[in-house]
Amino acid sequence: MDNAIEAILRKHPVLECSKEKIEQMVDSAYCLHASWGLGKIQSYDEVSDRFAIDFEEGPKNHLMEPEFCIRKLEILHEQHLLVRFHRDPEGLRQQVKEDPIAVILQMLRENHQKEVVASEIERNFRSIVGVNTYRNWWNRTKKLIAEDARIRPVAGKANTFVVCEEPMSLVAELLQQFDLHRDSIGKITVVEKVLSLSDEYRRNIMCHFPVFIEALQVAIISDSRLPVGKKLWACFIRDGLLQMQGEDLEFIEPSSKSILLEAGNNLGQVVELLPTGYIDQFLNLVACAYPDEWEDRCAQLLKNSAGKFTNECVSFFVERGCAEAVAAYFMRWLRERTLKAPVLYWIIKNRYVRRFASVIGEHLIGVELLRAIFCAIDVEVLHSTGNRRILLAELLSEDHSLIQDLLKSASAEEARDLAQMLWISQGFNALTKKSLLARFIKAFPQVQSLVIKDVQKDATREGDFRKVTRESMEAKRKEYEDLVNRRIPQNKQAIQVAREHGDLRENSEYKMARQDQEMLMALKVQLEQDLARVQVVDLEEANSDVISIGSVVKLRHKDTQKIEEYCVLGVWDGDPEKNILSYESPLGQELIGKKVGQSVLRTVDDQAAEWTVEGIERWVDRVK
């Protein structure tokens, strides 16, 4: 190859300055082309003055002039990622999956400047990880890079990383991170870390407090993109720094109180943007800002709370001596049927906690709470997407004493109604329903002989389930809830009032009320049977290759060439006037499973006609 190098330099004197790179272009050396990717140098032909190179994503045995190679090719060393990947793809892929930081550190150390831009990391790793999974891998890896002391962003260079063999001190690291961030959220996040420093570190960084506080003030006052919740977060951090300096907060503007008042009635939106560590501080601020109405405002926050915030809200009330008020709120929301799933979850989880005994009394743990739990589970199922977990349903299944606790004061009729609610619920699979029903039977053996057992035998067969859309299921369930919660109780009251009018033989009001009762109870049984034998279908799963539930179908008449369009939806969605078909309708059954180009027979007024499927679209794409 030495002779080849001499020959190249004789023919191309201008390449003398690139002699080092030419010396690397030996036979079997690897190179990288911007468009054709990884290549391997096969040979240099002195007669034609060309390098012959095979590219993975480009031409094979491609001839290139030396000057062009110098300008367009990057010569790769033996340990370069792409070379390693070419030789041992599975080995490197496994290493990148198990320890991505080690591979990135090697990449940084092999770079003569010890720094690499993010785009270069992405370019090298995209083919290694795989195009389909790369984005998720890179998002996870960026978090690991941010947490690793050996890899640091380069000051003044966006998205550029450098290897740091000697880790920076914590204070130096915080200062560098603060300088690197240009956005308010980034700076606030860095300054927040100062609050958790030990006294020793805090003394070393306290001289920078004025700079931090000024940045927080700019964010609070001038950043119009910063929502109120984030401004309040910045206020809490700013006030914490000022207190460390011994400053008086009374005259600091804007105050956290003024920021809170800026939110008006949108306190729920504010707390959603606050980190959980500031919830207690937030609730105390609400009490301070609204001295005459803090209880109602905090109660509204509690009603719509979830997770840790629910626990913090209840604890806040208890600490202020208002446990009885919370108990009254819970009972009122239970009667109004407005208790939401996260709050119900908290009540169940904490029903044995002594600290909350005055909040969760025996009056709360009963039949109505179980009814509310079933309703909340069904609401979550109807509004959930994909395979999202229903935590309340999981807790009901895992807590083996819960159903017995809630049925202690129930009558046999109430137990039967609740067991029926369980069976028609969409929040449990058939196996879980059997397990939960066994707990009902343990408390009320007579439940075993009721209609649920028969429904269970019939409906567990997959083929018996009728497909419905979420919207129609929700409408049918609302109809059932209205029947059970309003119409039937009203009818019972009407019967009671009619009884008081005397002689039942001549009492037409009583007879009409009893007839209504028979109709309502028959409707209740029918709705329960309908709801027990259906399955919600995800219209997102429909595709444009074959007609299924959730397809929009275009048909062409064989003789007249007339075109008509139909939507095939669930069993309760049929609306002939709008050309919406139930999949169980005769034409719906003809269409299901057909593809473009296939024919169907449609009968109108006893006249059969042949239609051809011209096109298939998805219903969800039409309504978006």
For residue 156, what pLDDT is reported? Answer: 58
For residue 419, what pLDDT is reported? Answer: 86
Q: What is the C-alpha to C-alpha distance for residues 509 and 518, in angstroms, rounded to an integer?
A: 14
Write the burial class of residue 589 (CB in 10 Å: 0-12 exposed, 13-18 middle, 19+ buried): middle
Helix (H, G, I), strand (E, B) or coil at 195: helix
Q: Under CATH, which number does the domain 539-623 receive?
A: 3.10.50.30
Residues of the chain with pLDDT under 70: 1-2, 111-114, 149, 154-158, 163-170, 382-387, 449-464, 501-507, 604-606, 624
Write the burial class of residue 199 (CB in 10 Å: 0-12 exposed, 13-18 middle, 19+ buried): exposed
Q: What is the C-alpha to C-alpha distance for residues 72 and 78, in angstroms, rounded to an integer?
A: 19
Helix (H, G, I), strand (E, B) or coil at 284: helix
H helices within 367-460, ranges in order? 367-383, 391-398, 402-406, 412-424, 430-443, 451-459
Helix (H, G, I), strand (E, B) or coil at 602: strand
Q: What is the C-alpha to C-alpha distance for residues 368 and 429, in angstroms, rounded to an integer?
A: 23
| CB neighbourhood size of 325 (10 A) | 17
- The strand order across the sheet containing 73-76 reads 62-64, 50-55, 37-45, 30-33, 73-76
Per-residue buried b or exposed e for 356-390, using 16+ beta carbons within 10 Å of the residue's own CB? beebbeeebbbbbbbbbbbbbbbbbbbeeeeeeeb
Residues 6+ apart with CB under 8 A from 113: none
Beta strands in 306-395 (DSSP E): none
Domain boundaries, the chain: 1-76, 405-536, 539-623
For residue 296, what pLDDT is reported? Answer: 92
Q: What is the C-alpha to C-alpha distance for residues 337 and 324, in angstroms, rounded to an integer?
A: 20
- The strand order across the sheet containing 151-153 reads 115-117, 160-163, 151-153
For residue 605, what pLDDT is reported? Answer: 62
H helices within 181-307, ranges in order? 184-195, 199-205, 209-222, 228-244, 256-262, 267-272, 279-289, 294-303
Q: What is the C-alpha to C-alpha distance for residues 523 and 529, in angstroms, rounded to an integer?
A: 10
Q: Under CATH, which number does the domain 405-536 receive?
A: 1.10.287.180
- Is residue 216 within 8 A of residue 191, CB to CB? The reply is yes
Q: Which two tokens stand for residue 261?
A: 């008042």
Q: What is the C-alpha to C-alpha distance for residues 1 and 41, in angstroms, rounded to an integer?
A: 12
Q: Under CATH, which number does the domain 1-76 receive?
A: 2.30.30
Residues 6+ apart with CB under 8 A from 181: 187, 189, 190
- Is residue 96 within 8 A of residue 128, CB to CB? The reply is yes
For residue 233, what pLDDT is reported? Answer: 93
Q: What is the C-alpha to C-alpha distance for residues 314 and 324, in angstroms, rounded to an integer?
A: 11
